[in-house]
């Protein structure tokens, strides 16, 4: 009777051992942690810190890399997906650092910086109308 019990226990444990060995850090399960959880969390944190405004290159690059990681995952390109997810995380972290520097006053420029150099009065040939803020004049005309 005890031998029969140990055989049943062994047979019951084999599928569990195979399943745990198969799922341990490969394919979509690695993706879930590295890309879906970590990179997405950092990109969302960057968005909360207004990185779109203060570090647009880094923020939008992180968003694009994260989206591409998801696309690659859909095609079972796990290794490339991991690489894109890691790059998205790095860019989002850089965007966070820049946003924090902006908030603390260490940096002073942003994409919405509306400072336009004053135009000379004689260079304006538009009949005295003031130029629109942020407009570009080519050739002084």
**Domain-embedded: residue 45:** yes
Supply the pLDDT for residue 25: 52
**Domain-embedded: residue 4:** no
Supply the pLDDT for residue 103: 83
Question: What is the count of structural domains for the chain?
Answer: 1
Q: Using CB atoms within 10 Å of the CB of residue 93, give its burial: 0 to 12 exposed, 13 to 18 middle, 19+ buried.
A: middle
Task: Give the whole-angstrom CA distance, residue 103 versus residue 7.
Answer: 65
Residues of the chain with pLDDT under 70: 1-27, 29-32, 34, 107-141
Supply the pLDDT for residue 10: 64
**Domain-embedded: residue 1:** no
**Domain-embedded: residue 140:** no
pTM: 0.57
Long-range contacts (CB closer than 8 Å, 24 or more residues apart) made by 102-105: 102/54, 102/55, 103/49, 103/54
Task: Give the whole-angstrom CA distance, residue 90 versus residue 61.
Answer: 10
Task: Give the whole-angstrom CA distance, residue 35 versus residue 46.
Answer: 15
**Domain-embedded: residue 39:** yes
* Cβ contact 34:85 at 8 Å: yes
**Domain-embedded: residue 8:** no
Supply the pLDDT for residue 134: 47
Distance of CA 7 to the CA centre of its chain: 51
**Residues, the chain:** 141
**Domain-embedded: residue 94:** yes
Report pLDDT digits (tens) over 43-82. Answer: 999 999 999 999 999 999 999 999 999 999 889 888 898 8
Domain that holds residue 66: 25-104
**Domain-embedded: residue 99:** yes
Sign of CA dihedral 3, 7, 10, 12: negative
């Amino acid at each position: 009777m005890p031998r029969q019990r140990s055989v049943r226990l062994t047979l019951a444990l084999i599928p569990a051992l195979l399943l745990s060995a198969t799922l341990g850090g490969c394919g979509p399960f690695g993706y879930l942690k590295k890309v879906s959880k970590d990179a997405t969390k950092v990109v969302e944190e960057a968005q909360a810190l207004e990185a779109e405004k203060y570090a647009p290159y880094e923020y939008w690059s992180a968003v694009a890399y994260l989206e591409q990681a998801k696309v690659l995952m859909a095609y079972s390109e796990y290794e490339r997906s991991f690489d894109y997810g890691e790059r998205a995380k790095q860019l989002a972290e850089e965007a966070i650092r820049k946003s924090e520097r902006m908030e603390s006053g260490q940096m002073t420029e942003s994409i919405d910086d509306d400072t336009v150099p004053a135009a000379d009065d004689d260079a304006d040939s538009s009949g005295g109308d003031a130029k629109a803020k942020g407009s570009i004049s080519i050739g002084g005309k």
